[in-house]
């Protein structure tokens, strides 16, 4: 086999199935046969032409699970046959100042899988060895794929503040990120509040671990959280700054609003809501590859699973549209062989 199939994005919403040359992995890289690739809303950066130069073809997808079939020069910790994952952060360089200080998430020379470098809408993918995640036995490629990004992002966000077991933790938005955040928060021993618009997601939210459901269409979610004693942490996953604005008032003293949902509109926060109560608003960007292994181990031990719709790799365009429509419950995963 000298070529492999992949979906390349060029311009705006132009995904084309192409044949790419199969090459040996570069030094420090591995090559893997893709078993599954989750579809994430961040894939819009590639498909909707939101990159620096949309005319340069790129293969989207950054929730990749596959089996290594070749390793490049200098790779000693990984071998062919190992099942691995690749997330949004493609692997740190080890040399820039953040890396030298141990801050691998903010590596200055790190590619973004599926956005600045080819990702997993393909039969074959290439990755830096420093970005690889070992996939444990007992979890399928289809279930592991969304955990590599949506799972890691929310699992890490929940650890942004010291929060005791039993404390109130809120999750805003019950979608691809939020449905996992609810499971993590419940498994970590918190009292969990779910916030979403309308009542139609209440049953889902309670099934996933919520003790309390707040309909933000019918009430002020910040006031509702304050009436419950205030949340130690609020994980904001919705792609709307306006929907996050009332949440700060629902934080307990020293509480944190952790923003993981990328929104086109800004947050507007009254300064007294921060000052009185010593509250904070922070962003959280995914995590490191070893933190992802912790995430997978925790998910396996606590039976945390994404709710997925599986589609064959050859229907990547249809699967992307399904994700973009907002009708998926809750993640769409491409499989080498549809399950």
Q: How far apart are CA 158 and CA 174, in angstroms?
A: 15
Domain with 116 in it: 3-146+287-335
Q: Which of 248, 266, 283 is the last residue in one of the domains? A: 283
Regarding whether 171 and 85 lie in a shared domain, the answer is: no
Regarding whether 330 and 318 lie in a shared domain, the answer is: yes
- Region for residue 254 given its phi and psi (left: phi exceeds 0; alpha: psi -120 to 50; beta: otherwise): left
The reply to whether 156 falls in a domain is: no
Regarding whether 308 and 174 lie in a shared domain, the answer is: no
Could you tell me which residues come within 8 angstroms of residue 168 by beta carbon, excluding any fewer than 6 positions away?
190, 191, 192, 193, 225, 228, 229, 230, 231, 232, 252
Q: Which of 283, 299, 323 is the last residue in one of the domains? A: 283
Tell me the three state secondary structure of residue 162. Answer: coil
Regarding whether 211 and 123 lie in a shared domain, the answer is: no
Domain count, the chain: 2
Report mean pLDDT in 10-residue bins for the chain, 339 residues.
Answer: 95 97 97 98 96 96 98 98 98 97 97 98 98 97 98 96 92 96 98 96 96 96 98 95 95 97 91 95 95 98 97 97 92 80
Q: What is the CATH number of the domain that holds 228?
A: 3.40.50.720
pLDDT (0 to 100) of residue 326? 87
Q: How far apart are CA 274 and CA 155, in angstroms?
A: 24
Q: How far apart are CA 95 and CA 74, in angstroms?
A: 16
- Region for residue 294 given its phi and psi (left: phi exceeds 0; alpha: psi -120 to 50; beta: otherwise): alpha
The reply to whether 44 falls in a domain is: yes
How far, in Å, are 77, 96, 132, 232 from residue 29 at the CA level? 11, 19, 10, 41
pLDDT (0 to 100) of residue 162? 83
Q: Which of 239, 258, 283 is the last residue in one of the domains? A: 283
Computed over its alpha carbons, how large is the radius of gyration of the chain?
20
Regarding whether 295 and 270 lie in a shared domain, the answer is: no
Residues of the chain by 3-state class (helix, strand, coil), percent to 5:
30, 30, 40
Regarding whether 309 and 200 lie in a shared domain, the answer is: no
Q: How far apart are CA 294 and CA 85, in angstroms?
A: 13
Regarding whether 138 and 168 lie in a shared domain, the answer is: no
- Specify the pTM: 0.95
Regarding whether 258 and 171 lie in a shared domain, the answer is: yes
| N-to-C CA span, the chain | 25
Regarding whether 222 and 172 lie in a shared domain, the answer is: yes
Tell me the three state secondary structure of residue 144. Answer: helix
Tell me the three state secondary structure of residue 67. Answer: strand
Regarding whether 133 and 177 lie in a shared domain, the answer is: no
Residues 241, 266: contact at Cβ < 8 Å? Answer: yes
The reply to whether 203 falls in a domain is: yes
Regarding whether 201 and 233 lie in a shared domain, the answer is: yes
Regarding whether 229 and 269 lie in a shared domain, the answer is: yes
Residues 57, 109: contact at Cβ < 8 Å? Answer: no
């Amino acid at each position: 086999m000298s070529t492999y199939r992949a979906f390349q994005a060029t311009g705006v919403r132009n995904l084309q199935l192409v044949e790419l040359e199969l090459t040996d992995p570069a030094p420090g890289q591995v090559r893997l046969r893709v078993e599954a690739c989750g579809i994430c809303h961040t894939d819009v950066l590639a498909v909707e032409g939101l990159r620096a130069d949309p005319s340069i073809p790129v293969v989207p997808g950054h929730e990749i699970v596959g089996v290594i079939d070749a390793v490049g020069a200098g790779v000693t910790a990984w071998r062919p046959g190992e099942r691995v994952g690749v997330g949004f952060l493609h692997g740190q360089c080890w040399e820039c100042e953040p890396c030298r200080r141990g801050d691998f998430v903010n590596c200055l020379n790190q590619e973004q899988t599926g956005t600045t470098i080819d990702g997993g809408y393909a039969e074959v993918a290439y990755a830096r060895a420093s970005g690889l995640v070992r996939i444990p036995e007992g979890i399928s490629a289809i279930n592991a794929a969304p955990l590599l990004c949506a799972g890691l992002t929310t699992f890490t966000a929940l650890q942004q503040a010291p929060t005791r077991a039993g404390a109130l933790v809120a999750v805003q938005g019950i979608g691809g990120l939020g449905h996992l955040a609810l499971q993590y928060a419940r498994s970590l021993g918190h009292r969990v509040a779910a916030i979403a618009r309308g009542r139609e997601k209440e049953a889902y939210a309670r099934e996933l671990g919520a003790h309390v459901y707040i309909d933000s269409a019918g009430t002020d979610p910040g006031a509702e959280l304050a009436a419950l004693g205030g949340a130690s942490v609020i994980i904001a996953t919705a792609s709307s700054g306006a929907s996050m604005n009332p949440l700060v008032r629902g934080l307990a003293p020293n509480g944190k609003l952790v923003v993981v949902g990328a929104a086109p509109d800004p947050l507007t926060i009254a300064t007294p809501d921060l000052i009185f109560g010593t509250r904070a608003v922070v962003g959280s960007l995914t995590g490191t590859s070893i933190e992802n292994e912790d995430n997978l181990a925790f998910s396996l031990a606590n039976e945390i699973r994404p709710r997925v719709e599986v589609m064959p790799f050859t229907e990547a365009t249809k699967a992307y549209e399904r994700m973009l429509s907002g009708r998926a419950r809750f993640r769409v995963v491409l499989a080498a062989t549809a399950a």
